[in-house]
Structure 1
């Protein structure tokens, strides 16, 4: 199977284009903006993961401390109220992470397509454009969920 692919005209065309410095430069230039977006998504996901880890740790500590009598807990919210509030926040962050991951996957596909289009004479601008719009839509959705969680974090659970 591999021999058939190598013997085909497609493989020789790819090899011919891949040895062209200007084609490689063009592919790198085209993929810079999506690559920077991918870095930004990764940084955002790092912040979201830190929030998720903190929320999970707080829920775990509350569950462990709920069984032991502690005089410091007298002035605190009821256990169930705080755990429910933290669980809602955790759910929002998890959804934001899922949308961010999907955005990262789609923008990675855009980068791959841009490289392929530089080496193979394929007309894919419509696909790249649609995938770019999908990426931005996923990212906006992720940011909206993360904003909802941040607003919840700024409020007291007594207000919910």
Structure 2
């Protein structure tokens, strides 16, 4: 099959000539390992983000159903905090997904660069920078969500704590 492509000339023979060296292909695979590991790490972080998002969404549903039944009016403030946490977590997941997509573009560009004559190093670097920007944004939103959760937890503890001077049984 490769012989047919090389004999026909043109683009196909150029592609085969550029990638016929095992060393060239090995180098491309080696270069794509770091982005591939980053992709796996993004997936792991997204798993944690999704777990938190699912928990928040379930809690919102439970509180809203209790509010509709006329119960738990004192939990209205918690509901507002949960809605804010859900927005933060959703945005973090969206940015993480975009980072995963752009890192896939980086890997594809690394392989494409072996097949074409024009240099696309700048495009690859821009895609890498975009990935880092999206990932930084996602992690900042995730940290913000955890801070909001911790602050909300402290507020609930303060509401249920005995007044100052009273001993807890």
Same fold by TM-score greater than 0.5: yes
**SS of alignment partner, residue 122 of structure 1:** coil
Shift of 1:61: 1.2
**What residue in structure 2 maps to residue 32 of structure 1?**
33
**Alignment size in residue pairs:** 148
Q: Per-residue deviation at 1:131? A: 1.2
Query: Is residue 92–residue 149 contact of structure 1 (8 Å, CA) maintained in 2?
Result: yes
Shift of 1:24: 1.2
Give how far 1:8 is off. Answer: 6.9
Q: Structure 1 unaligned segments of length 5 or more: list them.
A: 1-6
Q: How big is the shift at 1:63?
A: 1.8
The equivalent of 1:59 in structure 2 is 60
**Ranges in structure 2 where 5+ consecutive residues have no aligned partner:** 1-7, 157-169
3-state SS, counterpart of residue 10 of structure 1 = helix
RMSD: 2.0
Report the Cα distance in structure 1 between the residues aligned to 2:30 and 2:74, rounded to whole angstroms: 56
Does the 8 Å contact 1:45/1:100 carry over to 2?
yes
* 1:23–1:119 Cα contact (<8 Å) kept: no
Check whether the contact 1:26–1:118 (CA below 8 A) recurs between aligned residues. Answer: no
Give the corresponding residue for 1:4.
Answer: none
The structure having more radius of gyration, on CA atoms, is: 2
Measure the CA separation in 2 of the matches of 1:17 and 1:53.
Answer: 48
Aligned mates of 2:41, 2:98 — CA distance in 1: 14
- Are residues 8 and 152 of structure 1, via their aligned partners in 2, closer, same or farther at CA, if it must alter by over 3 Å? farther
Question: Which of 72, 85, 91 pairs up with 2:87?
Answer: 91
Instruction: Return the structure number with greater relative CO, CA threshold 8 A, min gap 6.
Output: 1
Runs of 4+ in 1 over 6 A off after TM superposition: none
Indicate conservation of the 8 Å contact 1:110/1:128, yes or no: yes
For residue 150 of structure 1, report the CA deviation from its aligned partner: 0.5
Q: Equivalent residue of 1:37, what SS?
A: helix
Hey, what does 1:130 align to over in structure 2?
126
1:101 and 2:102 equivalent?
A: no
